[in-house]
Amino acid sequence: MDSMGCGTALVTPFHADGAIDERALYALVQWQIESGINWLVACGTTAETPSLTDEEWLRVIRIVTEAAAGRVPVWAGCTHNATREAVQRARIAAQVPGVTAILSANPYYNKPGQEGQFQHFKAVAHAVKLPVVLYNIPSRTGTNLEPATILRLIEAVPNIEGVKESSGNLPQITELITQAPRSFSVYAGDDNMALGAIGVGAAGVVSVASNEIPAEMVLMVQAALTGDWPVARQINRKFYRLMQANFWETSPAPAKAVLAMMGRIEDHCRLPIVPVSGATRARLERLAGELGLLVHAPREEGDLRMF
Identify the CATH number of the domain in which residue 93 sits: 3.20.20.70
Is residue 97 within 8 Å of residue 123, measured between CB atoms?
A: no
Would you say residue 223 has pLDDT above 90? yes
Would you say residue 301 has pLDDT above 80? no
In a domain, residue 25? The reply is yes
In a domain, residue 56? The reply is yes
Query: Percentage of the chain surpassing pLDDT 90?
Result: 95
Q: Work out the average pLDDT over 296-302.
A: 41
pLDDT, the chain, mean: 95
Report the chain's C-alpha Rg in angstroms: 18
**Other Cβ atoms within 10 Å of 246 Cβ, number:** 25
Beta bridge partners of 39: 7
In a domain, residue 123? The reply is yes
Catalytic residue among 109, 135, 240, 256: 135
Active site residue 187: no
pLDDT tens for each residue of 107-145:
999 999 999 999 999 999 999 999 999 999 999 999 999
Confidence label for 295 from pLDDT (cuts 50, 70 and 90): low
In a domain, residue 198? The reply is yes
- What is the three-class DSSP state of 204? strand
pLDDT tens for each residue of 254-284:
999 999 999 999 999 999 999 999 999 999 9
Q: Work out the average pLDDT over 139-154.
A: 97
pLDDT tens for each residue of 62-85:
999 999 999 999 999 999 999 999
Is residue 136 within 8 Å of residue 166, measured between CB atoms?
A: yes
Helix (H) or strand (E) holding 185: strand 185-188
> Which backbone phi and psi does 9 adopt, to 5 degrees?
-85, 95
In a domain, residue 246? The reply is no
pLDDT of residue 290: 96
Question: CA-CA distance, 57 to 121, in Å (whole number)?
Answer: 20
> Which backbone phi and psi does 37 adopt, to 5 degrees?
-60, 145
pLDDT of residue 3: 83
Domain range for 23 is 5-226
In a domain, residue 16? The reply is yes
pLDDT of residue 300: 41
What CA–CA distances, in Å, run from 35 to 39, 55, 156, 215? 11, 29, 38, 5
pTM as predicted: 0.94
Question: CA-CA distance, 56 to 19, in Å (whole number)?
Answer: 9
**Other Cβ atoms within 10 Å of 294 Cβ, number:** 16
In a domain, residue 253? The reply is no
Active site residue 129: no
Would you say residue 299 has pLDDT above 90? no
> Vertex 138, ends 135 and 144: CA angle to 5°?
80
Catalytic residue among 111, 129, 164, 256: 164
pLDDT tens for each residue of 186-215:
999 999 999 999 999 999 999 999 999 999
Would you say residue 296 has pLDDT above 60? no
- What is the three-class DSSP state of 162? strand
Is residue 76 within 8 Å of residue 96, measured between CB atoms?
A: yes
Number of domains in the chain: 1
In a domain, residue 242? The reply is no
pLDDT tens for each residue of 41-69:
999 999 999 999 999 999 999 999 999 99
Question: CA-CA distance, 220 to 229, in Å (whole number)?
Answer: 9
